[in-house]
Structure 1
Amino acid sequence: MWVPLILGLVAAQRLGELALAQHNTARLKAAGAIEIGAGHYPLFVLLHGSWLAVLAVTTPWTTVPNPWLIGLFVLLQLGRVWVIATLGRFWTTRIITLAGAPLVRRGPYRFVRHPNYWIASLEIAVLPLAFGQIWIALAWSVANALLVAHRVRIEEGALSERD
């Protein structure tokens, strides 16, 4: 009962975020923004989609999740909302840069660079662990770390022009 409910909520949230990201991306591009590093974007879609799919397929639907880890996951969702709200119209799931736009230095960006990547990395580990799926947490965390390291290098290069 808990597995399909929680995974369904996470999938719905992610789909809503993708719609918002596409909307923001279109608006930014219409204003003259450009996308950097588009080639690796499908790998992120594959990583996050397969993460949820493997959780859904391999986790017995009668599994009772660890309430502390679900609580931590909920806190991470609040962090996601904070990041999205802080970036506002600049939040996307792609690397989109608009010449002349100032870098955001408020909200979670006061404390850490790339907070969304930190939050997503923790989510990728915490949700499977909440269902006792240690191997999913490990495998997808390693894959995510490699992909995020590549993406941060690209993003830092794009942002360095605006620092």
Structure 2
Amino acid sequence: MIWYTVLVLAVGAERVAELVVARRNARWSLERGAVERGQGHYPTMVVLHTALLLGCLLEVWLADRPFDPALGWPMFAVAAAAQVLRWWCIRTLGPRWNTRVLVVPGLPLVSGGPYRLMRHPNYVAVVAEGLALPLVHGAWLTALLFTGCNAALLTVRIRCENRALAMDAAGAAT
């Protein structure tokens, strides 16, 4: 269980790194006239993602969840792949990537990297990680709860992002 705790703490440290990047990128976007959208759902997102990490640890430690190699190793590979995809998204978007919904007016949609394959690849990473990270060590309840809550949140989040991007596109067309 110690190695799993280290894994979850490493993912937590990765989240802190994301927040540092996001804060720097927010300054860049705001300096270029970006307007934030979706502020209302952002605190819920922060709580949900924090709860994922805490839930992973608490369920494994308190419910004495066993490590099943047949499930754990494939889920570890999925969780690792999710991190690679997430950072590919961050690198592709550069200063435009953020944990908040900030759209710099007039910039074209990014169509390179994973965005040439799908519109919201970062959320594929979030979904994969939210399911896989708990299941690395059998925290099925955390995986189930996070996945359900995250589906509801992503419905709101993706709709918000799509509206913000459409508003910018409409503004740029006029």
Identity %, equivalent residues: 36
Residue 58 of structure 1 and its aligned partner are, at CA, apart by 2.0
Flag structure 2 segments of 5+ consecutive residues without an equivalent: none
Aligned mates of 2:98, 2:149 — CA distance in 1: 21
Matched, 1:132 2:132: no
* Contact 1:73/1:127, CA 8 A, preserved across alignment: yes
* Contact 2:65/2:138, CA 8 A, preserved across alignment: no
Q: Provide the alpha-carbon RMSD of the alignment.
A: 1.6
Deviating above 6 A after TM superposition, structure 1's stretches of 4 or more consecutive aligned residues are none
Identify the residue that residue 2 of structure 1 maps to in structure 2: 3
- 1:28-49 deviations in Å (ceiling 9; x for gaps): 1122111011111000000000
Identify the residue that residue 72 of structure 1 maps to in structure 2: 78
Aligned mates of 1:68, 1:82 — CA distance in 2: 21
Which residue identity lines up with residue 3 of structure 2 in the other structure?
Answer: W
Matched, 1:43 2:71: no
Structure 2 residue corresponding to 1:122, chosen from 119, 128, 133: 128
Residue 105 of structure 1 and its aligned partner are, at CA, apart by 0.7
* Mapping of residues 97-112 of structure 1, within 5 Å: 97-112=103-118
Aligned mates of 2:42, 2:138 — CA distance in 1: 29
Residues 152 and 62 of structure 1, relative CA distance in 2, 3 Å threshold: closer
| TM-score after normalising by structure 1 | 0.94
Which residue identity lines up with residue 138 of structure 1 in the other structure?
Answer: L
| TM-score after normalising by structure 2 | 0.89
Aligned mates of 1:58, 1:72 — CA distance in 2: 20
Aligned mates of 1:35, 1:18 — CA distance in 2: 16
Aligned mates of 2:54, 2:92 — CA distance in 1: 30
Which residue identity lines up with residue 144 of structure 1 in the other structure?
Answer: N
The alignment covers a number of residue pairs equal to 163
